Structure 1
């Protein structure tokens, strides 16, 4: 029976996760994410899929982040009507995130069409709308962790905790039957051991092929203790000396909730009582409620802390939720003593753009970058030391103090990726996805040095490459 895997997204880049599994006459898609970055990158989302959406029999979604889930409504719009298998918390988060994505698509189309009308050009349709989101959400099939399920003929799936965000999953796929069966393990996005709120990533023993993310393949994060010490130092200085505001661009799912938890744990130690802390993101507020609804998925420390402090939920206790646009705009009238957590995490949309416009040029303010910044995004420009940032069509000087806290990353670093892979028996073939070229090459160099667990074969996925799964462990490319 013919079995192939084609790599169609997050190949030598970090966004747009999408891989096509074909087994016999069945086709299964692993993730269907939006491409994020600069305008040129995002325009690629309008390119036709490299497959017929109507021919896809099922989708398996690793987690809710938009670079993994964001084109599911487009897939449904173009005729895909099969099931989307995912962990049940991921389905809840997608209901929040995809609706927000549709709103942004609509807003972007309206903005573009104003410019096109002046040039007598035909108007553009948004990539998808709220109706497409509703259709996609209606196709979700919710699974618990460790619930083996047959999704199409000759394909069974099992989801285990990836420890990246709530509901994130490592996908185990069992292909074929009996002696011909192959096991494919897709890491999705791997989290980190010892991080707050969520459980550690699951270690897996067996696979015939491993697809592994490589976002931080050439970097080592600071330890959790070192990260807390770093944050304490930043806040000790800014809280006592700052005459301005502190901005934290944050992903609405995962990072925002982590920051709320830290602000609760260290409120006294970081002397936060004199500051007004606002979560200025309707999507992050809704996502926080999803976290509250899925309490059983939290780690033991979080559950223990919550039991020991009844009435003081660590995600709700010392922060104000800013819902309306008017409330958000009013924050720009506050010139000091304000901590704002707002999306988007890469500064390429959302309310953080407005707050940067009002605070970035002020040397008395601080910006704390605490997540991955993809190439061509405004957040990456800040990290790379650009002296100006274009916001809403005009240039804003970068005068605020910038702090980059890599230890808060929800992605495994090089050592953690190596440790996760080394747990597999017999060093199965390994294909790297979801990483920029430099990071992937750094990881490959480290893998080759760790000869005791070097894979039988190793490759970096390229866009459009197709792998013959019957030829493993040689990894024959078609």
Structure 2
């Protein structure tokens, strides 16, 4: 078997691994590169295979950094099955459709500038219609049921605990009359997300490909994350301020809604009563669509959600913004409030407009609840820049900043090491999906307890196992 790493090698986006086995060519994930212009330009580069030669895609979860090149491959000739769990298929549809719309909008914006400059026009990576075209290839499968692709190769999805429907992947294949196992961690949750069941472990594997997003780092304040968020909201609104929460529309937004809803239920005291009267706005059409999918897949979620008294994702003080006019109106609303809007790294979407109008204000509180990739606006703000360019305008950073690691959807270093240490029989460990410093830190810790051969693949590198 050969593995070729075509994304997320020394970075956290663009996940794509090509597997060659006998006459099969299989992609594990097909994600977009996100972050700096240099990283995003990788989406337009030619791949070292013809899309029509790929037999199958196995999708670990719906996030765009894992699914976002699927329409591009279909556009270029892929017509095989895309295996995933049922929730992943539904979430991937809304995410890919939204991504196509964004690519069209960005290309149109760029082409206006190019026309004025007399430059050649560009085409979007893919369009909304091309995204919809790819949905016909999604093929949902249940967890824990082996699926045979040829007489010598099968795979099984197990829970990863990162996002609704997210999976780790166990591949079983016969090579030289031996049964071998290769496991992909996918993106692992940390077991504390109130919506998700905890990640499942792999008992035995000859080789694993493991993510390293938070290598070298530990999440803090996990048990007090809801309390800290509520304290921030109460402090900001007591000074007539606005709380801005850049949030991934799929997963993190639903988690925040449930955490706040659960806090109100669990705290019928003064803080709970005050929180109940503070208007909370979800300003993301995509988040509204995702929430409907969450509501229809309660059976895939944790007992905390399944046993919740009432509707998990509805509150009396929760307002859903469906129009552009409603979104614009929030920035002319002088009253204290909470605005939750995409994108999670502040690179696009409605959060950019709210930052433009509020980031400079001293009584604004900006709360980061997820990973901020290198080069993104969110990362620049977190790293202490005094001014940041948003929508072609330089905006002073005057807001109070908060980085709540406890809400991260990723396993931290301790969780990653625990997941790896549960796997017996390892001969190869591929540390992937992390910035170089994170991969190096995790690899150093793995050396302390594992004798397996350790690999830190570079983009395009091929290994034989």
Pairwise same-fold verdict (TM > 0.5) = yes
- The residue that corresponds to 1:463 in the other structure is 459
Tell me whether 293-302 or 231-240 shows the greater mean CA deviation. Answer: 231-240
Distance 1:257 1:178 in 2: 47
Q: Identify the match of residue 295 of structure 1 among 285, 298, 301.
A: 298
Q: Is the 8 A contact 1:360 1:398 kept in 2?
A: yes
- The residue that corresponds to 1:198 in the other structure is 196
Structure 2 counterparts to residues 319-334 of structure 1, below 5 A: 319-334=318-333
Tell me whether 171-180 or 134-143 shows the greater mean CA deviation. Answer: 171-180
- The residue that corresponds to 2:172 in the other structure is 174
| Structure 1 position 231, deviation (Å) | 2.5
Distance 2:67 2:425 in 1: 32
Q: Identify the match of residue 187 of structure 1 among 173, 185, 188.
A: 185
Structure 2 counterparts to residues 214-253 of structure 1, below 5 A: 214-240=212-238, 242-253=239-250
Tell me whether 94-103 or 34-43 shows the greater mean CA deviation. Answer: 34-43
Q: Identify the match of residue 72 of structure 2 among 68, 74, 96.
A: 74
Structure 2 counterparts to residues 440-459 of structure 1, below 5 A: 440-449=439-448, 451=449, 454-459=450-455
Distance 2:445 2:15 in 1: 24
1:335 aligns with 2:334: yes
Tell me whether 368-377 or 428-437 shows the greater mean CA deviation. Answer: 428-437
Distance 2:326 2:40 in 1: 30
- The residue that corresponds to 2:370 in the other structure is 371
| Structure 1 position 455, deviation (Å) | 3.9
Q: Is the 8 A contact 1:61 1:68 kept in 2?
A: yes
- The residue that corresponds to 1:12 in the other structure is 10
* Closer, same or farther: CA 60–147 of 1 in aligned 2, 3 Å: same
Deviations 1:366-395 (A, max 9, x none): 100110000000000111011111111110
Q: Which runs of 5+ in 1 are unaligned?
A: 470-478
Query: What TM-score do the two structures reach when normalised by structure 1?
Result: 0.93
| Structure 1 position 238, deviation (Å) | 2.3
* Closer, same or farther: CA 381–153 of 1 in aligned 2, 3 Å: farther
| Structure 1 position 130, deviation (Å) | 2.2
Structure 2 counterparts to residues 154-173 of structure 1, below 5 A: 154-173=152-171
Q: Is the 8 A contact 2:246 2:346 kept in 1?
A: yes
* Closer, same or farther: CA 191–428 of 1 in aligned 2, 3 Å: farther
* Closer, same or farther: CA 455–143 of 1 in aligned 2, 3 Å: farther
| Structure 1 position 189, deviation (Å) | 0.1
Distance 1:463 1:35 in 2: 12
Q: Secondary structure at the match of 1:172?
A: strand
| Structure 1 position 192, deviation (Å) | 1.1
Q: Which runs of 5+ in 2 are unaligned?
A: none
Q: Secondary structure at the match of 1:171?
A: strand
Q: Is the 8 A contact 2:234 2:275 kept in 1?
A: no
| Structure 1 position 275, deviation (Å) | 1.5
- The residue that corresponds to 2:288 in the other structure is 285
* Closer, same or farther: CA 361–432 of 1 in aligned 2, 3 Å: same
Q: Identify the match of residue 259 of structure 1 among 256, 259, 281.
A: 256
| Structure 1 position 181, deviation (Å) | 2.6
Runs (4+) off by over 4 Å? none
Q: Is the 8 A contact 1:58 1:152 kept in 2?
A: no
Across the aligned residues of Structure 1 and Structure 2, the Cα RMSD in angstroms comes to 1.4
Deviations 1:150-183 (A, max 9, x none): 1345321100110000000001111236833321
Tell me whether 191-200 or 231-240 shows the greater mean CA deviation. Answer: 231-240
Query: What TM-score do the two structures reach when normalised by structure 2?
Result: 0.96
Distance 1:28 1:238 in 2: 50
Q: Secondary structure at the match of 1:323?
A: coil
1:386 aligns with 2:382: no
Q: Identify the match of residue 141 of structure 1 among 131, 139, 147.
A: 139
- The residue that corresponds to 2:62 in the other structure is 64
Q: Is the 8 A contact 1:192 1:411 kept in 2?
A: yes
Deviations 1:4-24 (A, max 9, x none): 011110000000000000011
Distance 1:209 1:463 in 2: 19
Q: Secondary structure at the match of 2:40?
A: helix
Distance 1:367 1:232 in 2: 13
- The residue that corresponds to 1:108 in the other structure is 106
- The residue that corresponds to 1:472 in the other structure is none
Give the aligned length: 458
Q: Secondary structure at the match of 1:402?
A: strand
Deviations 1:33-61 (A, max 9, x none): 00000222212211111211111010000
- The residue that corresponds to 2:43 in the other structure is 45
Distance 1:152 1:28 in 2: 12
